[in-house]
Amino acid sequence: MSPIGHLAVGFAAKRAVPKVPLVVLLIAAWLPDILFFVFNFAGMESREQPAPYSHGLLMNVMWSLLIGLLALGISLDRRVGTALGLVVFSHWVLDFVSWNNLPLFLRGSRTVGLGLINEIGDFIVVFELALLVPAVASYIAWLRNGRRDRRIGRGQAGRTPRAEVADSHSLEGKESHA
């Protein structure tokens, strides 16, 4: 899958972990491709052979755990660590659907994948856009709702601060009459 499809996961994950910057989620979704360029530059992987260190199942599990634990350590939030780890691993899942040459383990191990790109060729872009467009639309709607809630003074529970103050006064009044 090209970067277009992987972006969808980053945009979709933003709602689950709103305190994580979008750029961090997008980098997490692209991490195996970023690693491929690093390993390619270092001479460890090439386009002519399966890429075990950046795109192999074993190493994707390792990268996902590493990023998840790193995020957990920085944020001290299990949800953030889990989300970032899953976003990294989603890359392998999407590539499994698209390609047929993902190593299970390291160099020389069996390769797997459904190879959708071999079946539909350039039409894969339509498939990727079908993932990206709703994810971006959902992200934009989420942003608009968040701005609207802040503009009208709603808290996390969707209530205005004035209503929360009124409730606290009514509770105080009930306590004093009891």
CB 84 within 8 A of CB 22: no
List CB contacts of 106: < 8 A, sequence separation 6 or more.
52, 53, 56, 58, 59
Residues constituting the chain: 178
Distance CA 2, CA 7 (A): 9
Is 16 a residue whose pLDDT tops 60?
yes
> What pLDDT digit, counting tens, does each position of 97-138 carry?
999 999 999 999 999 999 988 888 888 888 899 999 999 999
Output the average pLDDT for the chain.
Answer: 86
Higher pLDDT pick, 24 / 177: 24
pLDDT band at 161 (very low <50, low <70, confident <90, very high): very low
Amino acid, single-letter form, for residue 19: K
Q: Give the pLDDT score at 1.
A: 59
pLDDT at position 146? 77
**Do 104 and 57 form a contact (C-beta atoms < 8 A)?**
yes
Does 149 have pLDDT greater than 70? Answer: no
Tell me the one-letter amino acid at 10. Answer: G
SS3 37: helix
Q: What is the pLDDT of residue 147?
A: 64
Radius of gyration of the chain (CA): 22
The secondary structure of the chain in percent helix, strand, coil, rounded to multiples of 5, reads: 70, 0, 25
Taking alpha carbons only, the member of 48, 45, 19, 13 closest to residue 32 is: 45
Average pLDDT over residues 24-53: 95
3 state DSSP class of 54: helix
